[in-house]
Structure 1
Amino acid sequence: MRASGPEELARGVLAGDRRALARAITWVENRRPGASELLRRIYPETGRAHVVGLTGAPGVGKSTLAAALARHLRSAGQRVGLVAVDPSSPFTGGALLGDRIRFSQGAVDDGVFFRSLASRGQVGGLARATGDVIHLLDAAGMDVVLVETVGAGQSEVAIMRHAHTVVVVLAPGLGDDVQAAKAGILEVADVLVVNKADQPGASRTVQELRQMLELGAPRDPGWRPPVVETVAADGRGVAALADAVARHRQHLTESPAGAQRDRWRAEEALRQELLALVAERLHGTAAWAAAADAVAGRRVTPAEAAARLLDALRDERGPRDGHPAEGGGGRAAVEARGGAAGG
């Protein structure tokens, strides 16, 4: 279909039209005019899909595991959306989108919708559009949305902002597997997976993970993360992983943790959007340039400059048309008021 505007495109997404869904994702990923209105129209129809994040270091087999899990869920009659975030070049901004190539090598029916997103420089293993794409897949009728992160390692705790269930994937033979995960990524796990479990050292990795779970404080006192062994290349253990995800979903439904996480994710989404909007509103203005010059010249600290930029937003003239804002938004004010703060 060729949608003429956000209203028509939203209707197509809500009707489950795959072409409309693909086009809508392109709109939000590229921040096309009308994307905000499109999201506003579909947002009330979201909140039904279970979002599962798969994260872990590069080389553990996340892509293969995500594809195998998607096929298993589809064989059980569920509609599945799969979002794979690929790293962008820090120089060109381009991305190989190799997960799309790997995933396309297997047969998938129309009940699975796959999309690669370029991270476009975002930290935390995700693209900025990830949350919006999840909402679109949800509104289009997907029962489960799988999100595979870039594979940046411990910084990927950002997946917690989007996923109901976080699956942390490890593999034997990648050095000190558990030690590499100690600094934070294990604490976000709702399910732990040791993939490539047919390789030497897998049983040791499983044992170490279980010992760490005994010693550590759980993220959710009512849920003990299971450790699942898989060989995603031939499908072994994928059914057990799907069962663990289903049990965690049931736990969230039946315990206060589900509502608590929903509220936390809502606050995080609001915080991220607010930060982005403020930065976009100010970036490139005279006030922004003045603040950057003052920070670079050691006349004010970054924290002071940021506070004054927020003050500048109170004057509707300053951030939008480049006039210095009253109360400290312009170059002279930033420099004069910050003279004593340099160093």
Structure 2
Amino acid sequence: MNRREILKIAGAAAVGAMILFNIAHASSTSAKGLPIKVAGYDYDRVRAIMDGLVGTEGAVVDFHVENIYGLNQSAFGSERKYDVTELGLIPFVTKYINNDFRAYTLIPVFISRIFRHRNVFVHVDAGIEKPEDLRGKRVGTTGYGMSANTWIRGFLLDDYGVKADDMQWIETTQSSDKGKLNAGFAKYYFADDFPLVLGPPNVDESELILSGGCDALINAITPRVVLEGNPKVKPLFPDVRAEEQAYYKRHGVFPIMHVVAIRTDLINKHPWLPKAVFEMYSKAKQQTYTNLESTTVLKTTLPWATQEFESTRRIMGKNYWPYGIEANRKELELVMRYVYEQGLVKHRLKFEELFHPSTLELMEP
């Protein structure tokens, strides 16, 4: 065999080896599963996902931490860089109904919830001592249509008889947390004479109330004036904890702020994904419950975390942060009622239409 023939055989062998390597590599990558980019806040209830302790069979999860401003902007804009994302529930509802938004589909993982009695603040000189005193008052807000404000207007009506148009709404042009606000009003569907005006340029909600431009603030964020401890502004409800617990005991409602959504085109290609992602989030939350139960070490920086956990369960039940449709039916029905009554959407819709059909019957163990 001459030198040329030897080189020819060696070259063929190298090509064959490269082909085998590529096949093996592709097989290995395929075996790992579908790569999915997941995004949201770094809550304790998603920590197990972030740390890789909990995942989903058939997928490789890459978790990105981002705030709700960026998450909503990415999903509702053209970028849509995340496959699975946390979104504002009420912003999603309004986009779905008003703009036929279908790029993402919800699953019943209600990742952010908070009672909102803590988000009503009043000027000490405004003569507001109880919710009913808000009638006829000027109320500043960084966004009339924000989720928190929608829930607040809901309980003001249901528990105290104060209607949205009983107050004079002022939507500020700046937010003291430096969050980016809409330029001008969002699209609303209430009467032309509804009492809502745009605030002065370059004035945030804290400056507005201190300058006498409004009597109260109803706001998703805690205003800077409150964080700084200014004595001129106080909470409407002096004992917020007691008020919020009483609300839960009356209604059995834990207000939903954010939800998890999956790209619709990805679901169409991988119809198993909604159920798998639901189970991933549920397992991660269960890991948080386990951590809170532990008395061996404290994994949260609170000395009486275990006692707080036990107290919460006595009031709200063992799984007080439930996922799934049936466990959240009251909250979802209220959301759909509130967005319509408060002029955020042009027509009513049943909440089930927002969620992927494969998730409607999902329940946690």
By the TM > 0.5 criterion, same fold?
no
Give the TM-score range, shorter chain: under 0.3
Q: Which of the pair has more CA radius of gyration?
A: 2
Greater share of residues in strand? 2
- Larger RCO: Structure 1 or Structure 2 (Cα < 8 Å, ≥ 6 residues apart)? 2
Instruction: State TM-score, norm by structure 1.
Output: 0.25
Instruction: State TM-score, norm by structure 2.
Output: 0.24
Greater share of residues in helix? 1
